[in-house]
Chain A
Amino acid sequence: MSTSGVVEAVVTDSVTLMVPVLWAAAGEAVGEEAGVLNIGIEGVMLLGAFAAAAGVRATGSLWNGWFLSIPLGIVAGVVLWFLYVYRSCNQIVTGILFNLFALGVTTALYERYLTGAGTVTTVPNLHVPGLGSIPGLGPALFDQTPFFYLAVLGCALLYYLLWRSWFGLSLRATGERPDVSAAAGLSVLRLRFVAVVVACVFAALGGATLTVISTGGFTIDMTSGQGFIALAIVILGRWNPLWIILGAWIFGLADALQFQLVTIGSLASVPHDAWLAFPYVITILVVVWARGARYPASTGLPYEPVRRRRGLVAQLFRT
């Protein structure tokens, strides 16, 4: 393949490959800005991927499968909110355990109900007339899987919600100083509820996207670390869903490179894994060098409101 052909293929693939982590990272930015770090994002993505695959198998429609991940994301969000915020469980450890659980559940359910060949279809790309014919960038951006456009739309909405709306202001204040938010009359519990549910729904949609843009089927542990990558993208994108698009693209690019560059003689000797490694290394470098890239002050910390509730049940459950 000619060099320009390879470049075009790489760019097109990169945009496609970035979509799942883009969904997850955009949602996670909202959660983290409210003060909740969801290491369990990997598990939620996996659950979303499974839900989509199950939906595809059950209804035969990729879109139905994809939408099915939304209620699953809501349930996951409620459960995780309960653990992280209401019970103030340590967010890091609980997230890891949730991932373990999700891996087990999806694998078990898959092996029981989803093995066997399913339909191998893909959702046709959405072609934007005119723009789609621009050489180089055209096909990559304007003749793409519809999930890409949806993701960008989602990012725009979340950007507005987080950085341009009043609700976002309350959310961000809560992530930085929950005590100040509470003194201002806001409900930290309620704000974090919305944030965690949004984060989980988007993560689930990310996982669902992973399913539907590949074959519509599920494979064990199919996210293989993409949830963690999303955590890195959130930092790269400085918790701004618009910059996160760029951050996700860098990872998508690395992913695409490892497939395509093998065909170019001079670069064929570079192992695939090196291309995949480079975004991880970049993330570490960002953590080291970008002092401005710090988590909102209360992220990961349990919030203990001043007032204590009475009652035997409350006492039993809430020491």
Chain B
Amino acid sequence: MTVIGTVAAGTDRLGGSGLERAARVVLPLVGAFAVICAVIAGLGANPFTVLGSMVTGSLGSQYDLAETLMVTMPLVLCGLAAAIPFSAGLWNIGGDGQLYVGAVASVLVGLTIGTRVPGTLLSCVCVLAGVAAGCLWALLAAAVKIAVGGNEVIVTLMLNLLAGLAADYVVTGPWAQGVSPQTRSIPSGATFSSFWQSGFNVGFFVAVAVALAFGVFMSSTRTGFGIRASGRNLDATRLAGFRVVRLWLAAFGLGGACAGLAGALLVVAVHGALIPGMGEQYGYTGIAVALLAGLRPRLVIPAALFFAIVEVGGSSLSASANVSTAISYVIEGVIVIALLAFRAIRVRT
């Protein structure tokens, strides 16, 4: 299946001839490119130079590539955190919060039992704590939706804000490091050791493995199948004999677990501590990743990679380029909005 077919067939069938389908993808990309160039020019820089240096900044050397792959890691997981519930028609906007509670839980475990538990075991326990925390945080929103039909968008947004507060509290309060604005570091034995270049470690492969596993889960397990079907036609899925409540709990729980894993890995595999803002909008960018991937877990990997290239490329821009690193968000937002506006990607309500 070509890339065009993938994006186009992503979350809904598209009609029209091959030419119309191609136009539906090409035109928005052209339009997005134009807007992006206009913004960059408005910042007083040459778009081609900037975009070019973004590409070299993220892929130019092995060091850059390693960095890009490490940024792909949380993006894959946050992409899954959105994609799985979205497949069930559930709006998990809470990836951000689930990530932070995952990070908080990891640090909590790392700091409290860190002295008594050996390195690798500690890593695993920290990671599992993060996964569990993210999962539970998401299930809170699911419970509200199931019990009273409450709007999960608002609840997940509120939970994001609450998780942010929890993270802030932890950084300034009980586990403050004192010198820099972050928590104390977890024992170094628990952090993943890096190899190859620039902090690259096993965490990346964990994320990829999780995405592949969910690919199998969504396509070939009864629950995954039920989740996909319920997002398309809830009545028919219920009539077929699936228990919708269980499907919803699974979808939200697994989504939250992925985001929690992202938070845990950011602690254990990247920073070694909880640093404010380390979640870097991954929760929200993950939604864009999920859309670009057409909600398919296996495609989340290349989609996340693309976004990582944009983000690392952005952060590699030097101050003298006049263009802030935040240009990444502009690029990501404009591209996916354009694809949505031209119906290259469609999300069902």
Contact = CB atoms under 8 A, between A and B. Distances in A.
Interface string A105-144: 1011111100000000000000000000000000000000
Interface string B144-159: 1001101101110111
Interface stretch (A56-64, A68-76, A229-237, A241-249): A229-237
A100 B285 CA distance: 8
Interface in A277-319: 277, 280-281, 283-284, 287-289, 291, 295, 300-302, 315-317, 319
Given A90-B340, A232-B158, A100 B150 contact: no
B10 to A, nearest CB: 12
Contacts of B16: 319
Residue of B15, B24, B151, B326 with highest tally of chain A CB at under 10 A: B326
Contacts of A302: 349
A97 B39 contact: no
A274 B173 CA distance: 12
A12 interface: no
Contacts of B328: 104
B337 A92 contact: no
B323 A231 contact: no
B162 interface: yes
A210 to B, nearest CB: 16
A190 B285 CA distance: 32
Contact of A98 (B14, B165, B333): B333
A292 B169 CA distance: 34
B236 interface: no
B323 A108 contact: yes
A232 B162 CA distance: 13
Contacts of B244: none
Contacts of A229: 161
A104 B325 CA distance: 8
Q: Determine the interface band of chain B, counting residues with CB < 8 A from chain A.
A: 35 or more
A274 B170 CA distance: 12
Contacts of A301: 349
Nearest to A295: B151
Contact of B164 (A37, A97, A225, A283): A225
A317 B28 CA distance: 10
A209 interface: no
Contacts of A107: 324, 326, 329
Contacts, number: 158
Nearest to A112: B43
Contact of B324 (A100, A108, A284): A108
Nearest to B45: A112
Interface in B302-349: 322-324, 326-334, 336-337, 340-343, 346-349
Contact of B91 (A92, A101, A105, A271): A92
A229 to B, nearest CB: 7
A111 B346 CA distance: 34
A281 B324 contact: no
B153 A39 contact: yes
Nearest to A276: B165
Contact of B349 (A90, A231, A276, A317): A90
B256 to A, nearest CB: 16
B161 A100 contact: no
B168 interface: yes
Interface in A201-232: 220, 225, 228-229, 231-232
Interface string B213-255: 0000000000000000000000000000000000000000000
Contacts of B284: 96, 99-100
Q: Determine the interface band of chain A, counting residues with CB < 8 A from chain B.
A: 35 or more
Interface string B43-81: 110000000000000000000000000000000000000
Contact of A101 (B147, B337, B340): B337
B115 interface: no
B287 interface: yes
Contacts of A277: 162, 165
Contact of B44 (A89, A112, A272, A280): A112
A93 interface: yes
Interface in B175-221: none
A177 interface: no
A96 B288 CA distance: 8
A248 to B, nearest CB: 16
Given A273-B166, A280-B162, A288-B144, A100 B341 contact: no
Contacts of A295: 151
Contact of A93 (B155, B327, B343, B347): B347
Residue of A281, A287, A288, A317 with highest tally of chain B CB at under 10 A: A287
A83 B345 CA distance: 13
Given A287-B144, A287-B155, A316-B20, A83 B150 contact: no
Nearest to A283: B158
A90 B337 CA distance: 10
B349 A108 contact: no
Contacts of A93: 287, 291, 340, 347
A103 interface: yes
A271 B43 CA distance: 41
Contacts of A272: 169
A97 B150 contact: no
A107 B20 CA distance: 37
A300 B348 CA distance: 11
A238 interface: no
Contacts of B327: 104, 108
A235 to B, nearest CB: 7
11 contacts: A87-B340, A93-B340, A93-B347, A99-B284, A101-B333, A104-B333, A108-B324, A112-B44, A235-B154, A316-B20, A319-B20
4 cross-chain pairs, A with B, having the tightest CB-CB distances, nearest first: A104-B329, A101-B333, A107-B326, A104-B330
Given A93-B347, A228-B158, A280-B158, 12 more contacts: A39-B157, A96-B287, A97-B287, A97-B333, A97-B340, A104-B329, A108-B323, A228-B161, A280-B161, A288-B148, A302-B349, A319-B16
